[in-house]
Structure 1
Amino acid sequence: MSRPEPRPVSWHELNRIRGRAVATATGTVLEVGAGSGDNFAHFAHDVTWIGLEPHAKSRAALERTAHALGHDRPVLAATAERIPLADATVDAVVATFVMCSVDDVAQALREFRRVLVPGGLLVLVDHVAAPAGTGTRLLQNFVSPVSRRVDKGCRWNRDITPEVERAGFSGMSVERYRMAALGGLLAVPCAVHMAHS
């Protein structure tokens, strides 16, 4: 079965799509790779937020923002592959533009399933690899060794869909988009994955 053609969107529209996906998380929410707190505006006010951020500079900024918004729990200084939480601790795991930087995607997904309660929600928003053999994919393959070194491990040529499918989550849905970049000269493939543990 062929995939539907990804819908073209602007960065601003993709940001709104990301916000709607993040807003579906309820209860106790683990945000993996929370950066400096860009998703705070999208979470429901009554969530119990737990942040995880391995990069010290981003983590310091995130802790300041979290504290200002009333989230007093310290941000976890850990990677997605080794989450320092007990099994079945959170109702949702959210990661936006993070899986491109994870070293071991399969291990990170195992950790997400481990910390989620049964039936818990997984929300992933990422840029992903273009189809093999396309000009965009060739460009992604060319850029990825550089972006991995200068942008916290980011790989522009990674598609996480097969990994999520193999990880044992249920009811997975995938929405695919093409985000216009470089003044419309390039369409960056992006995807929203949602599934349950």
Structure 2
Amino acid sequence: MQLSDEQFVDEINKAFTSDAHKQNGIISITERIRSYWQQLIPVSPTTFQYPPVVINIEPRSRAAFPLTLLNANQYARPRLVLIGDSAHRIHPMAGQGVNMGFGDVLCLINILEQAVRDGADFNSLTYLVDYERQRQLQCLARLLSIDSLNRLYSTNFSPTVALRSVGLSFVNEFLPLKKFFAKQAASRS
């Protein structure tokens, strides 16, 4: 946050193209394994994608957000439920926090509609606890997976980087697995 906007743009572009953190041994291993996979499984065509070049940023548009993991112990109390960031907070990875919030809203709507269909008070803790149970189950799994990915990509420990690189290459090449992960990331759970 201390850099000028111009310096910030320069640092972003350097980060996209720098070889400072490149580990050639790991790249070599990954390429050999990728070559082997191409002989065994159907792979997606590989195209090199140059990183984008940032030209400028909007003045006063930069902000810092703490990378936090938070999950409330309870989402429901009599006549009260927590949804979205009040119930859970996660690292800003691929918009998963907002997807979880959308999932909360959809689940709560379904629960409240069921209470009305049953002729019950829609503020009944019986129904609100059902919302809590469903969302805790789905959100906790997503929170843990996102936090694990954050930890996995926050290390420079060579064996971890090697396994991570090989695993990511495998997912990228094996189309059914790649589609599965894309579907999971896009879901509103």
TM-score range, shorter chain: under 0.3
TM-score for both structures, normalised by structure 1: 0.20
> Greater helix percent: which structure?
2
